[in-house]
Amino acid sequence: MCPPRVSFGVTPACRAKIRAAGSTDPVKDQKKAHQRMTNVGVEIPEGKRLNKYGDLENLNLTTEDWKFRWEKRHIGFHKDEIHGLLQKYLSIILHGRKQIRIFVPLCGKSVDMKWLADQGHTVVGVEASEMAIKEFFAEQNVSYTQESVPGIAGAEVFQSTDGKLFLFNCNMFDFTSAIAGKFDGIWDRGSLVAINPSDRQRYAKLMTTLMANGCHYLLDALTYDQEKFSGPPFSTPPHVIHDLYGQSCNIQLLESSDALTDRQRSWGLDSFTEQIHLITLKTNTDSCA
């Protein structure tokens, strides 16, 4: 038997044995996970699972799990190019306005932020990984200052010297409108789909409290069979979006497209759909969702 690692992950020899047994993807049920690992001689501690990279992490992902993914360079979710759907629908976010404040939750080192800032918008991001934030500024060749955030213990904000970019290094759920105000636009790509399903209601409530009157929130969501792959990214079909936001917001599906690639096929999927939703706060004259 291969001895399990005490920290996040398993030994390379164990990982090879697990992959040889066809066990590279996370599983939906913890009991199945324990049985699968037992079959190949690896024990999974209670509350843990084996992710698609062959490392152990918490069943409910924590900020430490995401930091670990950045440290291990397990960041397949990061894109080196500006998101095509953001370019296509930016005018929907702007809604005829110029130089607005745009929020990017769980921003990582997304190049979308620099693109938005270059157009004159003020961009505020939140990211748990300090590594990701520092890599963003280094790779985009943007100078910055760094200081603590009053009201959030241990948090720091990295601010570009031109005052267009503010990236907060903290837990997403410690961030509030009291910290950085409300926003005219939100670009949510890779954030909701990364949130533990058990935290979605809390997340949606936070997002709506960050929306200023007239805010246009562009949400990039995904739909796939979670019996085949449990995420992250987590499947967030339209009915989930409506359950989360329908009571307080209007929701419009702007586009639904087939986004299946070899990456998703390697997860065991044969269908993978990307949907772009526009979310706006309801007014007193709006009908119920």
Q: pLDDT per residue over 138-189, tens digit each?
A: 999 999 999 999 989 999 999 999 999 999 999 999 999 999 999 999 999 9
| Element counts in the chain: helices (H) and strands (E) | 10, 11
70 with 136: CB under 8 angstroms? no
For the residues 68-90, what does the mean pLDDT come to? 93
131 with 71: CB under 8 angstroms? yes
Rounded Cα distance, 29 and 39, in Å: 16
What structural domains and CATH numbers belong to the chain?
Answer: 84-126+179-281 (3.40.50.150)
Q: What is the pLDDT of residue 17?
A: 44
Residue 42 pLDDT grade (very low, low, confident, very high; cuts 50, 70, 90):
low
C-alpha dihedral sign at 10, 222, 166, 154: negative
- Count the alpha carbons within 13 Å of 147 in the hemisphere toward its beta carbon: 8
User: CA angle at residue 225 from 208 to 249, to 5 degrees?
Assistant: 15
Q: Where are the alpha helices (DSSP H) in 76-127?
A: 84-94, 111-118
Range of lowest pLDDT (17-26, 78-87, 226-235): 17-26
Residue 286 pLDDT grade (very low, low, confident, very high; cuts 50, 70, 90):
low
Q: What is the pLDDT of residue 285?
A: 59
**What is the pLDDT of the chain when averaged over all its residues?**
87
**pLDDT of 192-250, one tens digit each?**
999 999 999 999 999 999 999 999 999 999 999 999 998 999 999 999 999 999 999 99
171 with 129: CB under 8 angstroms? no
Range of lowest pLDDT (18-22, 229-233, 260-264): 18-22
**pLDDT of 109-126, one tens digit each?**
999 999 999 999 999 999
Q: What is the pLDDT of residue 20?
A: 43
Q: What is the pLDDT of residue 41?
A: 53
105 with 151: CB under 8 angstroms? no
Task: Examine the pLDDT at 38 and tell me if it is beyond 80.
Answer: no
- State what percent of residues in the chain have pLDDT above 70: 84
Rounded Cα distance, 166 and 118, in Å: 14
Q: What is the pLDDT of residue 15?
A: 46
* H or E stretch at 63: helix 63-71
Residues 6 or more apart whose Cβ sits within 8 Å of residue 50: 10, 18, 23, 26, 27, 33, 36, 37, 44, 56
Q: What is the pLDDT of residue 91?
A: 97
- State what percent of residues in the chain have pLDDT above 90: 73
Which of left, alpha, beta for 199 (phi over 0: left; psi -120 to 50: alpha)? alpha
Residue type, 85: L
The two structure tokens encoding residue 238: 């339209």
Residues 6 or more apart whose Cβ sits within 8 Å of residue 141: none
Residue 50 pLDDT grade (very low, low, confident, very high; cuts 50, 70, 90):
confident
30 with 49: CB under 8 angstroms? yes
**C-alpha torsion angle, residues 142, 106, 188, 264 (rounded to 10):** 110
For the residues 129-145, what does the mean pLDDT come to? 97
